[in-house]
Chains A and B, each alone.
Chain A
Amino acid sequence: MFKSAAHDAVQTGSRNAAPRDVSATPDGDAKVAVTAELLSTWLGFADVQRRTLDIVQGELTRTSDHVETSTLDLSERFRELARKALEQSERVAQIVDTAGSVDIDGERVPLDRLVVGMQDVITDMVTNIVTLSRHAMSMVYLLDDVQKDVAELEKSIGDIDGINRQTNFLALNATIEASRAGEAGRTFAVVAQEVRHLSRSTGELADRMRGTVTAVVKGVRNGHDILRQIANTDMSPQMLAKERVDKTMDSLVAQTNHFQSVLETAASVSSDMSSTIAHVITGMQFQDLTKQRIEAINDSLAIMSAGLGELETRIRAQVPPAIGAREPQEWLNQLMGRFTLSEMRERFVRRLLLEGTALDENGVLDLDAAGGSSAGGDIELF
């Protein structure tokens, strides 16, 4: 298809240098002698250039579409992210609201108030223990005294018995002395008899008193024993439990406050994230501008391509058929060197080599079909 130049002579189009080769035509067109090699080279270059321009346009459109699709996808994902960040911040805010309080019988009670309330309850409990201990000890001392008094009472009853025995003995002696006195002692014998009766009654009374006192002593001793058991139950460990409870409560409040402040930070970070993402989405509008620029560039390229094609056609019409287009191998190599992305190079090669062949007619050059062989050609970017 490409043929080497017919002759080697090089002649410039300069008016000074070659007046004999230039013949003016009536309409002003000037004819210039050009070597067949230069023409052949130009034709080859023009062919490659036109096709390259087409490919570049195609690549630009493809790139613009790719950026558009990706940007839309990214925007959608970022919007989703922003929505989730906002949801998260709302959820955390809810936790922050409820973290500092607990639900008691349908009422929200702040934790610090609850803790103070519980500490008050325990303080009251300890105070009650102290008061009870004091009262128990007072009772113990009181019953100690009562027991002493009752023992005293038992002794007194014993004393009454002694006195009663003596009285009885005296009355008996009086009776004997009265009978010895005969008629003169009769009245005295009656008195002595009465004293004996009195003594017996006193003895009976002392017995009854002893029975009652014994019952009282038994009751008091039982009560005393029970009270000793109560007072002897050491409640100081329960009192000291307040220390532990206080520490636990303080720690609980401190921990809750810490959680709350961490969660507040988390909520504000989520909210910041959401607004940053909104900015990112706004920033993605660069794609719209890029698309317009690429379209403008593509339009320019199309005009250039059309102009080149037209010029090529006009020149081809004036060039003898013997002069073919020479393949610009060096430029092609340079161009190929630029396409480091295999999928892109493949499209370029197909377009350049197969255009106008039978394969072209069978749709092999279809742009979207190209590059199918290298799945994920984008990866080569890295």
Chain B
Amino acid sequence: MDYGIEVRDQEAVIRLRGRLTFNDHAKLRALIGEMGQNKLKRQVLDLSSLEFVDSAGIGMLLIAREEMDRAAKQFILRGAAGQVKRVLTVAQIAKIVPIED
């Protein structure tokens, strides 16, 4: 998995690409750190280019959400599709994290 951060007026959009699995845990931790650093209140994770997420990936997304909560920032998941969307739906992540199309 790799990612790119785009800071806009109102929100920071982080686009994840490829497969988000356990092996990316160090990278995701660094990303969470970066998200905490920038000043914007809205941190949007753009999942439209993410092809696959495993259960560890779901766990990491929830940790990211907890960290944003602690930093008093809004954390939003956007544009999930395919397997990623299905897993998010089945896991009922929408109950915990706002999900946008």
Contacts and interface: CB of A to CB of B under 8 A. Distances in A.
A234 B55 contact: yes
Interface string B69-83: 000000000000001
B3 to A, nearest CB: 17
Nearest to B96: A130
Contact of A239 (B26, B60, B63, B90): B90
Nearest to A229: B22
Interface stretch (A34-42, A121-129, A160-168, A276-284): A121-129
A134 B63 contact: yes
Majority DSSP secondary structure for residues of A touching B: helix
Interface residues of B, number: 22
B54 interface: yes
B31 interface: no
A136 interface: yes
A134 B90 contact: no
A55 B90 CA distance: 91
B90 A133 contact: no
Contact of A130 (B21, B26, B59): B59
Interface stretch (A137-145, A335-343, A357-365): A137-145
B58 interface: yes
A224 to B, nearest CB: 12
A317 interface: no
B91 to A, nearest CB: 5
A227 to B, nearest CB: 10
B52 to A, nearest CB: 8
Contacts of B83: 236, 240
Contact of A232 (B53, B56, B62, B63): B56
Interface residues of A, number: 26
Interface in B1-49: 21-23, 25-26, 29
B87 interface: yes
Given A141-B29, A240-B86, A240-B87, A129 B55 contact: yes
A236 B51 CA distance: 13
B56 A240 contact: no
Interface string B81-97: 00100110011110000
B25 A236 contact: no
Contact of B58 (A233, A236, A242): A236
Nearest to A139: B59
A127 B63 contact: no
A236 B87 contact: yes
Given A236-B54, A236-B55, A231 B90 contact: no
Contacts of B21: 232, 234
Contacts of A127: 91-92
A242 B92 CA distance: 12
A247 interface: no
Contacts of B86: 240, 243
Contacts of A132: 59
A143 to B, nearest CB: 11
A126 B90 contact: yes
Contacts of A235: 54-55
B42 to A, nearest CB: 22
A133 B55 contact: yes
Contact of B63 (A138, A144, A233): A138
A234 B54 contact: yes
B53 A126 contact: no
